[in-house]
Structure 1
Amino acid sequence: MKNQMNSFCARALPLAMAACLAFALGGCASPSHTISPKAQANAARENPPAPKDEDFPALDSAKWSQGTFPSIEALRAMRTGMGKDQVRELLSWPHFSEGLGGVREWNYIFHFRTGKGAEYVTCQYMVRFNKDVLTHGMYWKGPNCAGLLNPPAAAMVPAVVPAPAPVPVPSPAARHMSLGADGLFRFDGSGLNDILPQGRSKVEALAADIKRNFKALKSLQITAHTDRLGSDAYNQGLSMARARTIRELLVQQGIDRGAIGVAGMGEREPVVDCPGLRSTPALIGCLQPNRRFNIEISE
């Protein structure tokens, strides 16, 4: 009898350990809950502060220290309001030991070829999730890495950003202006911390031109537009958040807040129509004119 019990325990212990391991792994890889348009819209409105460089984990603390060479197309497909399953499908698992449950941050090590043999540059990328376990912020460590997704084709080397082209000086008769959204904000960003250096320069130049050419400003209406990629609720929230941020930056430059109105139109008023459903570089480039700010001034 004793030998039978010993034999049973010898067989049961590995099975119990395997069951515990399967449970732990299942907890990591279990599917996320259904994503609702309301939850996506909430994620787009949250606009949390961006992390500082020191908030990124040290490279030598990575579990998968080799990193990966990501798809530029996959990175461009990242959006606020995505679940962990969707992020994992695009970018795979994070490269650091993030924990088993309740994880609100994933960190990656990404490499990009320079075009010079086997040479490459290394960047760190952070994805943060809100209380609904939806993305509400994607961040790069350092400004050079943040610019990799802006060109219409996959950029291999972070280029020095040229000085922004001067905003055309509006004459008193010019009441309508348009400002392209590309190059103003970091990819998928909408807050003051998400404005790129060249975008801030453009808005500051716009404010200077308004003060110089419209002495008796009565009203300034900012209407933000997006392309059709993403859900209606997400695009509506993103456009409104970006319009408010442009207003805040203009106020910082001395424009009267009481004279500025904002509106977000989302994807409802496109100026170009492009075929295709998948978020490819060609489609993103074709839809660029739809990502814009219309500005109407009255005095």
Structure 2
Amino acid sequence: MKKTQFHRFPAAAFGAAAILVLQGCSSYVSKGITDDGKATEVVFPSVENDAWLKEGTFPNLNNLRAVAPGVTKDQLYDLLGRPHFREGVASPREWDYIFHFRKAGGGVTTCQYKVIFDKDFKAQTFHWLPAGCGDVLASRAVPVAERPAGAAPAAPRKVTLGADGLFRFDGSSLADLLPEGRRKLDALAGEIKSSIKSVDAVRVTGHTDRLGSSTYNNALSLARANTVRNYLAQSGVPAQNVQVQGKGESEPKVQCAQTRRAELIDCLAPNRRVEIEVFGGS
């Protein structure tokens, strides 16, 4: 009987080969990803060459609207499923998806969606290809990519509420809402409910000042936005219509240079805010 010959490979060589196989398409990694989850150049993979799930999925729009800065990989997995490309095993900082959306008049729009994570692997920035695909989140009826040529979307109605008037200092929960803040949210909820049949979506965005770390401010802004959404839902606004995001200190209204802390805090007040945008409606 002929003996079967077994060839031994160095363990290091086998390990390197395994990593290359598992990482798959590391060549399409975006350039210059920073600790806070941004990229100097966003690179999208090739569906034909790089996707393991080339057919993509039809995402749940309400789940997609719930994706916001600060979500973890586990939370993103629960909302959207595993990424559709071979992202690698060495702690990848981006996930890619292929999504399909049904057009109002028939047919399907196909888009790519990329999520980039910060150094703590929390999602921070989100990108679409083509760029207009993201407008599907703002309108359930006719996304921009599906509107007739030349048709412009209606501008959302925006309400800005100062965080200092909404929450106790450094607070973000329902228990931290101030009486005046509750009255303002009650009035806003009443307005939204009165025209709810024509409201496509409500977007709640939290903002902070620059005091404190960016990680803390991102978490605080998102927590406050979630609290406002929960309050609106308790007041009768359908929760599935409301999307939230926290932008931390990234979009200030004012710049201040005071050296005394109390004066600086007062000056930065306009930056501490919650913005509510209502898409559609009368």
Q: TM-score, normalised by structure 1?
A: 0.44
